[in-house]
Amino acid sequence: MKIEIIKEDINFGGIVSEINITEDLNDTIINELDKKLNELCLLVFKKQKINDDQQIKFSKYFGKIEGAGNNTTIRSIKERRLSDSFGDVSNLDVNNRPLRKTDNKRFFALGNRLWHSDASFKKIPAKYSLLSGRKVAKIGGETQFADMRAAYDDLPAQIKHKIKNLKSYHSLIYSRQKLGLNMYEMVSAEEIINFKPVKQPLVRKNDFTKRKSIFLASHIGEIEGMEKPDTILFVNDLIEHSTKDKYLYTHNWDENDLIIWDNRQSMHRGLYFDDQNEIRDVRRTTISGTEMLIDQ
Ligand code: OGA
Ligand code: MN
């Protein structure tokens, strides 16, 4: 196995070669990959033609898979294309056809184009995500990643001080609100409770590297002790700061690429592609975090 660093200047991202992820992998390899995920935030594997079972098997080396529960999607069970172990990040309906332009499921999925960290709206947010490009867009549909450690390091001292103990509230309701969507109209009164905001710290520290990062996502709609408009503007400013070119890696997908990223210290978003005329079948498995970061 060989790992080549993508952005040497900020030690962000790696391309892993000389590995076949469908094979049985020993502890030495997995520990090395885990160490590199802590250090580099994301790893790209090329030419890994895998099926769902192989993705599940590889994912389990990194922890427990968190399923696509009712608190992550508005698709009912019968509207889902993939097993419960997967997050369906494609633009497809249950019959493998592009979701129609006005379909609420499409609108909901467009939230992935906003900067975010996966499942930050859960009490225990996601640790790693693994995204496999089974079919990718011919034009566009790149995935961008932002290094939230480098972004934290470069914050002015007074902002570091200001955010040190701040607590933010994350919910899919807030991120979809930014798209002009009203989740209260999209799901029933019983279902809306699945999307109740959860409290997260605005600063995290990696146990292994001891580096701090800004824990940001478009899912944030409130910060404790701050007025709502001030919150929105402050979060926008932080996102703008954190997504400057120098902190970014843009992944231009080839079919059968697989990327693993560390949600604890990065943000990501998908970029535009013509989702009415192209098929983009990307499938995500998500590894759960191990504990709540703060009491709720
Ligand atoms: C995801 C995600 C963006 C993309 O899989 O969690 O946000 O480019 N994907 O599909
Ligand atoms: Mn995501």
**pLDDT tens series, the chain, 296 aa:** 999 999 999 999 999 999 999 999 999 999 999 999 999 999 999 999 999 999 999 999 999 999 888 888 898 889 999 999 999 999 999 999 999 999 999 999 999 999 999 999 999 999 999 999 999 999 999 999 999 999 999 999 999 999 999 999 999 999 999 999 999 999 999 999 999 999 999 999 999 999 999 999 999 999 999 999 999 999 999 999 999 999 999 999 999 999 999 999 999 999 999 999 999 999 999 999 999 999 99
pLDDT of residue 52: 98
User: How many structural domains are present in the chain?
Assistant: 1
Residue 296 lies in a domain: no
Cβ neighbourhood burial of 159 (10 Å; 0-12, 13-18, 19+): middle
Ligand 1: residue whose CA is nearest its atom 10 = 270
pLDDT of residue 214: 98
Residue 293 lies in a domain: no
Q: How far, in Å, from the CA of 162 to the mean position of ligand 1?
A: 30
pLDDT in tens, 187-204: 999 999 999 999 999 999
How far is it, in rounded angstroms, from Cα 209 to Cα 262?
Answer: 13
Q: Is 33 in a helix, a strand, or coil?
A: helix
For a substitution probing ligand 1, which of 86, 251, 282 has the most ligand atoms within 8 Å of its CB?
282
Ligand 1: residue whose CA is nearest its atom 9 = 270
Does ligand 1 have an atom closer than 6 angstroms to the CB of 241?
A: no
Range of the domain at 133: 2-286
pLDDT of residue 72: 87
pLDDT of residue 149: 98
In the chain, count of helices (H) and strands (E)? 9, 15
Q: How far, in Å, from the CA of 204 to the mean position of ligand 1?
A: 22
For a substitution probing ligand 1, which of 112, 121, 259, 273 has the most ligand atoms within 8 Å of its CB?
112
For residue 220, the Cα-to-chain-centroid distance in whole angstroms is: 14
| CATH for 127 | 3.60.130.10
Q: Is 230 in a helix, a strand, or coil?
A: helix
Half-sphere exposure in the Cβ direction for 116 (13 Å, CA): 28
Residue 174 lies in a domain: yes
pTM, whole model, 2 decimals? 0.97
Residue 171 lies in a domain: yes
Residue 291 lies in a domain: no
pLDDT of residue 253: 98
Residue 295 lies in a domain: no
Residue 8 lies in a domain: yes
Does ligand 1 have an atom closer than 6 angstroms to the CB of 120?
A: no
DSSP E strand boundaries for the chain: 2-7, 12-17, 42-45, 87-88, 126-135, 143-147, 167-170, 198-201, 203-205, 212-214, 220-223, 248-251, 258-262, 266-270, 281-288
pLDDT of residue 231: 97
Does ligand 1 have an atom closer than 6 angstroms to the CB of 282?
A: yes
Residue 129 lies in a domain: yes
For a substitution probing ligand 1, which of 269, 275, 280 has the most ligand atoms within 8 Å of its CB?
269
Q: Is 110 in a helix, a strand, or coil?
A: helix
pLDDT in tens, 69-90: 888 889 888 999 999 999 999 9
